Structure 1
């Protein structure tokens, strides 16, 4: 488990992280989200002792990172996959990490096989593609067989097969009872991977909740309904105080509606339905709604009033 208590980091007059308190628990994949400049990287660096907090503290299984004797056996992390000595082969990079953390050398071959790099183990990473570099970074994180894993943008550079692989790997690690903490800007991928979310904006905690509740609380859900008698359907919906919006396919979207209620209204008015379904909001929509006011740099659409 990772526990943050009133974690704060200031750089001169700028506060990068302010009063963060949350826990990352074992058994689920926890997603870490926030706009650029929100303080995610600073927070993860403080978790690993790479930056020192101005106030507050981080506990890794009850201890500060500096108190861990062989840290890779407690927590493995992928923050910057390219942080590899260019003169060492992939095998020797892992060997140096293993020797400095008291990890048996047999583990090197195991993690190279796990990430699919056995065939290039004796090659230097400077010639690796971005995806291969990510796999080596994941191998480094897994080297000590830790109970806690942290991944920052783990799917960068991976092809579809690689993305599918890392997604399933994170789920399997969580199912084994490990703590898995992952940060990513790919909302579609996070929606398929994470069960719990921690969201920050401008260094402050905005949400610490389940994926399902986060979407429910921060994005709209509507009912999609279509009938060969659209005008009768519209009249029935409006008569019940609902506000149907016409869709391009001739059907209606009823924001905030309920499928049972819409279906019962149609039956009551003897209106035939060809479609009745829930239009669920996406994680991206929920994230954008929650964090809109915390985005540090916002692009504009380039309208005439701005280009003047």
Structure 2
């Protein structure tokens, strides 16, 4: 388990992470979301001891990362796909990581096969595409067969088959009882992968909820009705004291309506319905609603907002850390972890085809 307690990080006058406290549970995929500059990368770097907190603490199974013996067997991480020495082959990169944590050499071949890089195992990483580099980073993160895995933008550069593979892999790892912590800006992908969400904005915790509860709390629900008898429908709704709004393409919507009761009302009044369906916001819409006051960079100018400029931002609060913090040479410092204990096939797509 990863546990953060009052974690704070300052860079001079900039408050990047502000008294952040949460736990990453086992057995589910936890999504880590936030606008650019929210402090996600800084938080993940502090988890791996790549940055030292100004105050507060973060522990992995009760210990700081720096106190873990053979850390790749505890936590595997992918923060930067290209954090590989360009002169090393894929095989040698994984081999030195394995030897640094007393991991058998045989694991290297297993991981190369798992991520689909066996055919390019002896090629130097400087010639790898973004997708190939991403696969190598995933292999590094799984090398020590850890109980905790942490990914930052894991689908970046992967082709559709690779995206499906890593999505299913994360779900399988969670199903085995492992801790899976993943950050991504792709809301559609996160909606398909994550069970639980931790959302931050300007370094502060905004939400720590299950996926369904997060969407429910940050969006409206409605029942959509479509009929060839609009006047009869509107009369029936009005008689029942039900407020209705116009929907798309001639439909009507009842906010927070009861699907069954509306269907029964239509039937009782002889209203023919062509559509009776529940409507709920997407994760992206709920996320935009939740973080509207925490966005640091806006389209149109790209200029950071001054402290206190965004609505709801307490006066004097510094904006979040710059969004361009690199992960550094995570493979050597942050360390990866190992393949799932149950069989997980590697994608069939050729790595060379990914861009």
Secondary structure at 1:215 match in 2? helix
Alignment map for 1:14-163 (pairs within 5 Å): 14-163=14-163
- CA–CA distance in 1 between the matches of 2:50 and 2:250? 57
Per the TM alignment, residue 300 of structure 1 is displaced from its structure 2 partner at its CA by 4.6
Alignment map for 1:96-245 (pairs within 5 Å): 96-245=96-245
**Aligned residue for 2:341?**
none
**Aligned residue for 1:287?**
287
- CA–CA distance in 1 between the matches of 2:33 and 2:248? 34
- CA–CA distance in 2 between the matches of 1:121 and 1:78? 19
Alpha-carbon deviations, 1:17-56, whole Å to 9, x = none?
Answer: 0111100011000000000000000000000000000111
Name the stretch that deviates more: 218-227 or 148-157: 218-227
Name the stretch that deviates more: 93-102 or 28-37: 93-102
**Aligned residue for 1:247?**
247
Structure 1, unaligned stretches of length 5 or more?
302-308
Alpha-carbon deviations, 1:220-269, whole Å to 9, x = none?
Answer: 11111111211111222233333323334322122222212211221232
Name the one with the larger helix percent: 1
- CA–CA distance in 1 between the matches of 2:189 and 2:297? 23
Name the stretch that deviates more: 93-102 or 242-251: 242-251
Q: Does 1:298 align with 2:310?
A: no
- CA–CA distance in 1 between the matches of 2:217 and 2:123? 49
RMSD (CA atoms): 1.2
TM-score under structure 2 length normalisation: 0.83
- CA–CA distance in 1 between the matches of 2:57 and 2:121? 38
Alpha-carbon deviations, 1:192-238, whole Å to 9, x = none?
Answer: 00000000000000000100000000011111111121111122223
**Aligned residue for 1:271?**
271
- CA–CA distance in 2 between the matches of 1:234 and 1:112? 63
Q: Does 1:4 align with 2:4?
A: yes
- CA–CA distance in 1 between the matches of 2:241 and 2:209? 33
Per the TM alignment, residue 277 of structure 1 is displaced from its structure 2 partner at its CA by 0.7
- CA–CA distance in 2 between the matches of 1:142 and 1:193? 18
Higher relative contact order (CA 8 A, sep 6+): 2
Secondary structure at 1:213 match in 2? helix
**Aligned residue for 1:306?**
none
Alpha-carbon deviations, 1:73-112, whole Å to 9, x = none?
Answer: 1000000010100111000011111111111111001111
**Aligned residue for 2:339?**
none
- CA–CA distance in 2 between the matches of 1:176 and 1:97? 24
- CA–CA distance in 2 between the matches of 1:34 and 1:164? 23
**Aligned residue for 2:329?**
none
